[in-house]
Amino acid sequence: MAEDRIERDILITASLDRVWSLVTQPGFWVADEASLPGTVAREGESMVAKSSEHGEYPVRVEKVEPPTYVAYRWTSAFPGQELREDNSTLVEFTLTREGDQTRLRVVESGFAALAGSEELISQNLKDHTSGWPQCLDALKTRAEESSV
What three-state secondary structure class fits 27?
coil
Q: Can you give the residue ranges of every domain in the chain?
A: 5-146
The pLDDT score that the predictor gives to residue 126 is: 93
Number of C-alpha atoms within 13 angstroms, CB side, residue 126? Answer: 7
Please, are residues 12 and 101 in contact by the beta-carbon 8 Å criterion?
Answer: yes
- The answer on pLDDT for 32 being more than 50 is yes
Please, are residues 85 and 113 in contact by the beta-carbon 8 Å criterion?
Answer: yes
The pLDDT score that the predictor gives to residue 54 is: 86
Q: Specify the CATH architecture of the domain 5-146.
A: 2-Layer Sandwich (3.30)
pTM over 0.85: yes
The pLDDT score that the predictor gives to residue 42 is: 94
What three-state secondary structure class fits 75?
coil
Please, are residues 115 and 89 in contact by the beta-carbon 8 Å criterion?
Answer: no
Taking only the tens place, the pLDDT of each residue in 78-122 is: 989 999 989 999 999 999 999 999 999 999 999 999 998 899 899
The pLDDT score that the predictor gives to residue 116 is: 86
Task: Tell me the backbone φ, ψ of residue 22, rounded to 5 degrees.
Answer: -85, -40
